[in-house]
């Protein structure tokens, strides 16, 4: 599958993403002082300017008001709406003439106004200061400032300016949130890719990365396309291999049938010898092995089979009856503990063949008893087949017994160990259900095979 080339790669996304995130946070934090500065230097409203102008003209017209004993007469004034206004008269040396102890807010505002170079207003926590209005009396320079000692709503950004620690915490949290969203955006397709790879590793050859991930224009999209191409090739090769095994097994049946026919004709002609009996025995064994190979191939290809929602006890009914009969013939006891209410979607033929192989294997090696029991959870079904036989001493064999043609050291002879295909068929059938199968030794003796199927 061709890989698209694009400059929209992971490096560019990481660079732009984290750079824009950090730049946005820095810009928001740096904007607060600018907002405060613009607010501090907001122009003096016309009605307040008229108020200061009116008082200044009174002083110009009546210079005697500048006398210390008369300064207090105009220090307090009321607007038309009845709001009290406190006035401050400042000389050219920035001394407040009508107040013995000017407030820190007034001193600060005077500095702000001096920096602004024009009449302004500024909202403190519980007062509004405005001014100055400059005028001249007898060659001396004076300035008027006013204060409205009542609460006025402050702009929202002053909350962040006054609470710097909280602002820093919010900035860190916002930065983490933005980076988290960006990381999630990059991590989501990677999680999808990992999930598809896990499913492929478990044997689901149809697992592919979703189209949304594969259509991305960055390296992740290219990786998804490469993965899908690889999965297609793996599925084709595995299916081809299974079909080849199936085809070879079918082709082997033709000369095998001719061989058995020739043996039958020879027997009719009276040509019965020990060698002929041996050839017939080996031909029967070869036919059984070919049948096992065909079954393994059929289970792995899952041909002509669809899942059906069935009761487990009903699906295994015939297999359990046959196993019980076989156990009785060998003077052994089969204990069945499967609730008839258990239902789940299954491939009936592969599952019954898997359980049949496991039960026959358990009955063969059990000393006196075999148990098959089922338990359920919200997400899965667990089916256990337990025998009281010798088990498998070698721990390495516990994982290898499900491989085709593998037989433990204790089962090398054909009479007891077969060809090592029965457990491989069982493992293939459980894998087709997206389930798991494992074997472990019981205490003090015996073997337990556990099947886990999704519900």
The pLDDT of 438-446, averaged and rounded, is 86
Residue 279 forms part of a structural domain: no
Other CB atoms within 10 Å distance of the CB of residue 396:
9
Position 6 confidence tier, pLDDT thresholds 50, 70, 90: very low
Instruction: Give 48-104 pLDDT, tens digit per residue.
Output: 888 888 888 888 888 887 877 777 666 666 665 667 888 888 988 888 888 778 888
Last residue of a domain, one of 160, 194, 217: 160
> 287 Cβ partners below 8 Å, 6+ apart?
253, 256, 260
Q: What is the DSSP letter of 379?
A: S
Residue 134 forms part of a structural domain: yes
User: What is the CATH classification number for the domain harbouring 430?
Assistant: 3.30.565.10
Last residue of a domain, one of 109, 132, 160: 160
Other CB atoms within 10 Å distance of the CB of residue 412:
9
DSSP 1-38: -PPPP-S--HHHHHHHHHHHHHHHHHHHHHHHHHHHHH
Q: What share of the chain is helix, strand, coil (3-state, %, to 5)?
A: 55, 20, 25
Whether the bond between 132 and the residue before it is cis, its omega within 30 degrees of 0, is yes
Instruction: Give 240-276 pLDDT, tens digit per residue.
Output: 777 777 677 777 777 878 887 887 887 777 777 787 7
Q: What is the mean pLDDT of the chain?
A: 79
Residue 437 forms part of a structural domain: yes
Tokens encoding 90: 């400042």
Position 155 confidence tier, pLDDT thresholds 50, 70, 90: low
143 has which bridge partners? 90, 134
Question: In this prediction, what percent of the chain has a pLDDT beyond 70?
Answer: 80
Residue 23 forms part of a structural domain: no
Structurally, the chain folds into a number of domains equal to: 2
Does the active-site annotation cover 250? yes
Domain that includes residue 342, residue range:
305-454
Q: What is the three-state SS of 98-122?
A: CCCCCCHHHHHHHHHHHHHCCCEEE
Residue 283 forms part of a structural domain: no
Residue 284 forms part of a structural domain: no
Last residue of a domain, one of 160, 188, 213: 160
Instruction: Give 187-243 pLDDT, tens digit per residue.
Output: 788 888 888 888 888 777 788 888 888 888 878 888 888 999 998 888 888 777 777
Position 426 confidence tier, pLDDT thresholds 50, 70, 90: confident
Tell whether pTM > 0.85. Answer: no
Residue 169 forms part of a structural domain: no
Instruction: Give 18-50 pLDDT, tens digit per residue.
Output: 777 777 777 777 676 666 656 556 778 888 888
Residue 224 is inside which H or E element, if any? helix 219-268
Cα–Cα distance, 195 to 268 (Å, whole number): 63
Give the torsion sign (CA, 213, 215, 216, 220).
positive
Instruction: Give 404-420 pLDDT, tens digit per residue.
Output: 776 665 553 444 445 56
Tokens encoding 63: 């210079």
Tokens encoding 112: 């702000």
> 383 Cβ partners below 8 Å, 6+ apart?
312, 355, 372, 373, 374, 450, 451, 452, 453
* The pLDDT of residue 277 is above 60: yes
Residue 80's pLDDT is: 56
User: What is the CATH classification number for the domain harbouring 105?
Assistant: 3.30.450.210
Cα–Cα distance, 384 to 373 (Å, whole number): 5
Instruction: Give 67-79 pLDDT, tens digit per residue.
Output: 777 776 666 666 6
Residue 235 forms part of a structural domain: no
Instruction: Give 278-335 pLDDT, tens digit per residue.
Output: 887 777 777 777 777 777 766 766 644 677 888 888 889 999 999 999 999 999 999 9
Task: Name the CA dihedral angle for 100, 105, 108, 110, rounded to a multiple of 10 degrees.
Answer: -60
Cα–Cα distance, 33 to 92 (Å, whole number): 30
Residue 78's pLDDT is: 63
Residue 451 is inside which H or E element, if any? strand 447-454
448 has which bridge partners? 386, 440
Tokens 């070698």 belong to residue: 394
Position 350 confidence tier, pLDDT thresholds 50, 70, 90: confident
Residue 401's pLDDT is: 82
Sheet with strand 84-91: strands edge to edge: 42-43, 120-123, 128-137, 140-148, 84-91, 76-78
Instruction: Say which of 95, 250, 309, 335 is annotated catalytic.
Output: 250
């Amino acid at each position: 599958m061709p890989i698209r080339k694009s400059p929209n790669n992971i490096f560019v996304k990481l660079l732009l993403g984290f750079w824009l995130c950090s730049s946005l946070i820095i810009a928001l934090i740096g904007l607060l002082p600018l907002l405060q500065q613009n607010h501090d230097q907001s122009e003096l409203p016309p009605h307040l300017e008229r108020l200061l102008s009116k008082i200044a003209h009174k002083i110009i017209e009546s210079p005697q008001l500048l006398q210390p004993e008369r300064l207090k007469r105009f220090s307090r004034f009321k607007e038309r709406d009845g709001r009290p206004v406190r006035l401050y008269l400042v000389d050219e040396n920035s001394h407040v003439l009508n107040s013995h102890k000017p407030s820190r807010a007034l001193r600060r505002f005077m500095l702000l106004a001096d920096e602004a170079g024009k009449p302004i207003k500024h909202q403190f926590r519980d007062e509004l200061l405005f001014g100055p209005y400059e005028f001249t009396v007898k060659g001396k320079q004076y300035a008027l400032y006013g204060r409205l000692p009542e609460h006025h709503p402050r702009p929202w950004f002053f909350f962040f300016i006054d609470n710097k620690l909280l602002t820093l915490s919010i900035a860190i949290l916002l930065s983490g949130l933005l980076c988290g969203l960006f990381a999630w955006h990059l991590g989501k397709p990677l999680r999808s890719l990992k999930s598809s790879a896990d499913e492929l590793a478990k044997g689901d050859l149809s697992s592919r990365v979703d189209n949304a991930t594969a259509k991305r224009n960055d390296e992740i999209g290219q990786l998804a396309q490469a993965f899908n191409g690889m999965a297609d090739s793996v599925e084709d090769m595995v299916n081809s291999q299974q079909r080849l095994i199936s085809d070879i097994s079918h082709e082997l049946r033709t000369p095998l049938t001719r061989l058995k026919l020739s043996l039958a004709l020879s027997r009719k002609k009276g040509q019965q010898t020990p060698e002929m009996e041996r050839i017939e025995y080996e031909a029967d064994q070869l036919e059984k092995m070919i049948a096992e190979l065909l079954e393994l191939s059929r289970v792995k290809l899952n041909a002509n089979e669809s899942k059906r929602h069935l009761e487990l006890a009903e699906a295994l009914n015939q297999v359990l009856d046959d196993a019980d009969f076989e156990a009785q013939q060998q003077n052994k006891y089969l204990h069945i503990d499967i609730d008839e209410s258990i239902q789940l979607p299954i491939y009936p033929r592969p599952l019954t063949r898997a359980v049949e192989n496991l039960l026959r294997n358990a009955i063969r090696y059990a000393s006196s008893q075999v148990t098959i029991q089922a338990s359920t959870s919200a997400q899965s079904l667990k089916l256990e087949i337990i025998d009281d036989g010798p088990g498998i001493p070698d721990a390495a064999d516990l994982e290898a017994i499900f491989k085709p043609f593998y037989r433990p050291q204790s089962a090398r002879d054909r009479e007891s160990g077969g060809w090592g295909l029965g457990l491989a068929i069982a493992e293939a059938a459980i894998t087709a259900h997206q389930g798991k199968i494992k074997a472990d030794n019981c205490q003090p003796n015996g073997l337990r095979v556990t099947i886990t199927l999704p519900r």
